[in-house]
Amino acid sequence: MDAGRALLAPRGRLVHGCADILAEALAALPAGIGRVDLDMGGVVSMDTAGLQFLDLLGGYSHRQAVPVSATNWHGQPLRFLELAGLDTTDPLGATAHRPGPPPRDGAREAPEERLHVLQEEVAQLRRAIASRPVIDQARGVLMALHACTSDEAWHILREASQLSNTKLRTVAAAVTAGAESDGPPPPPQVRAALRTALARLRR
């Protein structure tokens, strides 16, 4: 760490739990840090937890108005970034210099406040990633049952979620469960919302 710049060098694998460790490291940075650079050369592999890792860095950059970079990718992590459609030179390049909101009362967040916010972001990212498989399954069910496209199935799920005031993941889980031979039907409010969404789509 020098002249307001923090250099972090992750090692090993970016897997489940890595975002928690990163959150603690970011929260422990002293006030006055003007830039955070990550040397990813020591990372040998990553899975979707690596995307949580990057999203957390992007959120920190935006919230603290501090440029953040993650460079020197190679091997499997580099290929993973390519498959994810991210910039392999610096996947944070598009967000590292976005201005963040002004600090409250002219001061940066206290370390414990930063840690709490970062932990909340990690939890939200985990929920989002956990929701993807069931949502994709529900889209497949709707496509098979109603001969619609993937985009149309997504629109049906999203509209049913809004109409029934039910979380999207819950709607998707109800659709998927209802497709099983002995599965329960969706709750009445979800069924009604799905019918309405389908009717609107077919107009």
What local confidence, expressed as pLDDT, does residue 166 receive? 92
pLDDT for the residue 97: 41
Q: Which of 132, 113, 129 is nearest to 52 (CA)?
A: 129
> Helix 111-146 and helix 49-64: axis angle, to 10°?
130
Stated pTM of the model: 0.47
Distance from C-alpha of 111 to C-alpha of 71, rounded to nearest angstrom: 25
pLDDT at position 62 is: 85
Q: What pLDDT is stored for residue 141 in this prediction?
A: 86
- Span 5-109 CATH architecture: 2-Layer Sandwich (3.30)
Return the pLDDT at 188.
93
Side chain identity, residue 13: R
Which positions ≥6 away from 118 have C-beta within 8 Å? 22, 23, 26, 27, 56, 59, 60
pLDDT, tens digit only, all 203 positions of the chain: 566 888 889 999 888 788 888 888 888 888 788 888 989 999 988 877 788 888 888 888 888 888 999 999 988 888 877 766 778 888 887 444 444 444 444 445 555 666 666 667 666 655 655 556 788 888 888 888 888 888 898 899 999 999 999 988 899 999 888 887 777 888 999 999 999 999 888 77
Any idea where the domains of the chain sit in the sequence?
Answer: 5-109, 132-202
| Residue 46 CB-half CA count within 13 A | 28
